[in-house]
Amino acid sequence: MMDMIETKRLRPDDLPEQEFLLPGNRSCAGCSMSLYYRMALKALGKKTIITVPASCLTVLHGLYHKTSVKMNVVHTTFETTAASASGIVAALEAKGLGDEITVCGFAGDGGTSDIGIQGLSGAAERNTNFIYACYDNEMYSNTGTQRSGQTPYMAYTTTTPHGKLEHKKNMPMIMHAHGIPYIATSCSSYPQDVYAKFKKAKLFTGTRYIHTLIPCPPGWGFPTDQSIEMGRLAVKSGIFPLFEIIDGKMFLSPESERCLDPSKRLKVEEYLKLQGRFKHIQPEHIEYYQEYVDNHWNFINQFL
Amino acid sequence: MVDYKDPKSTIAAVQVPSEGEAGKTGSWRSFKPVFNPEKCILIKSEKARCHICWMFCPEVAITKSRPPTINLDYCKGCGICSTECPHGAITMKKE
Ligand SMILES: Cc1ncc(C[n+]2csc(CCOP(=O)(O)OP(=O)(O)O)c2C)c(N)n1
Ligand code: SF4
Ligand code: SF4
Ligand code: SF4
């Protein structure tokens, strides 16, 4: 499998021109989910069936009878992304189309790591043949920014008015424990990496999981033109490590390699201070947060 | 084949792909991107490669052409293209 994998670094204009996302959709100005989804669709291509639960992505898809995507999409209920994908896979296999058509579930962080986790875990246990793509804006954005299992420590949401006390749930490693063939983390600020990881995921059979950080300007409280920089800071500070786990073995993505050296990690404060959701944060929280990130890298090191 | 336009031939709610599903989203803008061709690397050099603005535009409002063009009907004015262009070829002006 490894030798089939294209490792060449892509330049922006290497990405295909064909678009499956149409302009004039309902996503907010500067929405990284929109950028991420656009890249993912370029990689998945036309022969794909997508399933999406209630989320910002449903809003982006638009109201009946129009839609902003040129793709085959099923809209499902909040908790059923993986169950719905499993059903689509079963139908395709019964028709002998299982190898021809890619099935991909796209869900928010709430839909994935909170309400949708049991269906996803069941599908991963059966190694059902689909890609599960979680876009992580670290809150329930669609319903007005409530806390999710992916909301980070001390972030303000409407349900954590003094900042969340718990840390982010480590979803990629939960999926790793299921022994599935391909897991990747990516961030919308690196569109070529998003594209390459979806392309790579298509080469595998079985459950594949891609977890992507997508900075959300209104939810996180930063100016719309800073969407790309915010994701870069999350990666450079080591808060959101980019890696792949291929057949059980972890590979750090080049963007995150510098974080192996603690002195090359940007201080978490550089990232936190730019966002309204961390405005109330105190020096002791920042210190604790930094310690947490450094410990997390010790944890990651065990897998390399 | 299902004829999407004929409600009688469809058994479920089918949505048709169309631009401007949310209307002319250009009207959301408070700042407008202005392209300064003399600064764009694709105009300065025939051999240059770039299209960073095209890649990052979340709205699919920039074309992958030489030089790139901006579709102001739908551009929401987020300013990402202006912030990310390494040559300062796009500036944001108040509407
Ligand atoms: C069973 C159920 N509970 C609650 C809702 C209301 N609801 C719709 S979208 C949403 C939040 C989705 O959050 P997330 O999955 O993180 O996606 P995002 O909105 O951030 O894109 C909620 C709570 C619902 N549709 N169904
Ligand atoms: S709330 Fe955030 S994730 Fe949702 S559409 Fe707006 S910018 Fe995108
Ligand atoms: S301002 Fe935003 S939406 Fe408009 S062209 Fe630039 S990147 Fe695209
Ligand atoms: S990013 Fe700037 S220099 Fe590059 S193509 Fe766009 S406008 Fe030209």
Quick one: average pLDDT of A122-134? 98
- State yes or no: ipTM above 0.85: yes
Separation between Cα atoms, residue B42 and residue B30, nearest integer Å:
28
How confident is the prediction for chain A on average, in pLDDT? Answer: 96
Q: Do residues A129 and A205 make contact, with C-beta atoms less than 8 angstroms apart? A: yes
Which of A12, A32, A229 is closest, CB to CB, to B55?
Answer: A12
Closest CA to A157 of A169, A135, A179, A141: A141
> Do the Cβ atoms of A225 and B61 come within 8 Å?
no
Q: How many domains does chain B have?
A: 1
Question: Do residues A69 and B95 make contact, with C-beta atoms less than 8 angstroms apart?
Answer: no
Amino acid occupying residue A104: C
Domain that holds residue A58: 30-303
pTM assigned to the model: 0.96
CA angle A225/A230/A233 to nearest 5° reads 145
Q: Is residue A19 part of a domain?
A: no
Instruction: CATH number of the domain at B41, please.
Output: 3.30.70.20
Residues paired with residue B70 on neighbouring β-strands, in sequence order: B62
A7 part of a folded domain: no
- Nearest residue (CA) to ligand 4, atom 2: B85
Q: How confident is the model at residue B7 (pLDDT cuts 50, 70, 90)?
A: low
Atom of ligand 2 nearest to the CA of A59: 5
Dihedral over Cα of A241, A244, A248, A249: its sign: negative
> What is the Å distance from ligand 4's center to B45 Cα?
12
Q: How many residues does chain A have?
A: 304
pLDDT tens profile B25-74:
999 999 999 999 999 999 999 999 999 999 999 999 999 999 999 999 99
- Distance separating the N- and C-terminal Cα atoms of chain A: 19
CA atoms within 13 A on the CB side of B22: 24
Phi and psi at residue A88, in whole multiples of 5°?
-65, -40
d(CA B73, CA A78): 33
Ligand 3 atom having least distance to the Cα of B76: 3
A52: helix, strand or coil: strand
B48 within a domain of the structure (yes/no): yes
B-contacting residues of A 178-237, CB under 8 Å?
191-192, 217, 223-229
Question: Is residue A12, in this structure, part of any structural domain at all?
Answer: no
Which stretch of B8-17, B20-29, B58-67 has the lowest confidence by average pLDDT? B8-17
Tokens 């009946």 correspond to: A64
How many percent of chain A have pLDDT more than 90? 96
Residue A16 forms part of a structural domain: no
Cis peptide before B67 (omega within 30 of 0): yes
- Judged against a pLDDT cut of 90, whether residue A216 lies above it is answered with yes
CATH number of the domain to which A92 belongs? 3.40.50.970
Ligand 4 pocket (Cβ < 6 Å) reads: B 40-42, 50-53, 68, 85, 87, 89-90
Give the closest of B23, B50, B77 to A12, CB-based: B50
* 3-state SS assignment for residue B41: helix
Asked if residue B37 belongs to a domain, the reply is yes
Position B79 in a domain: yes
What is the atom index within ligand 3 of the atom nearest the CA of B80? Answer: 7
Pocket of ligand 2 (CB under 6 A): A 27-28, 31, 33, 56, 137, 141, 216-219
- Partners of residue B80 in chain A, C-beta under 8 Å: 30, 224-225, 227-228
Q: What is the mean pLDDT of residues B68-85?
A: 98
Q: Return d(Cα B10, Cα B52) in angstroms, integer.
A: 41
Question: Is residue B2 domain-resident?
Answer: no
Whether A79 maps to a domain, the answer reads yes
Count of domains observed in chain A: 1
Residue A6 is predicted with a pLDDT of 54
Tokens of residue A10, six digits: 């892509």
* Contact flag A35-B54 (C-beta cutoff 8 Å): no
Domain that holds residue B73: 26-94
Smallest CA–CA distance from A195 into chain B, residue: B55
> Distance between CA atoms of A186 and A206, rounded to whole angstroms?
20
Domain presence at residue B30: yes
Q: Is residue A98 over pLDDT 60?
A: yes
Does a structural domain hold residue A5?
A: no
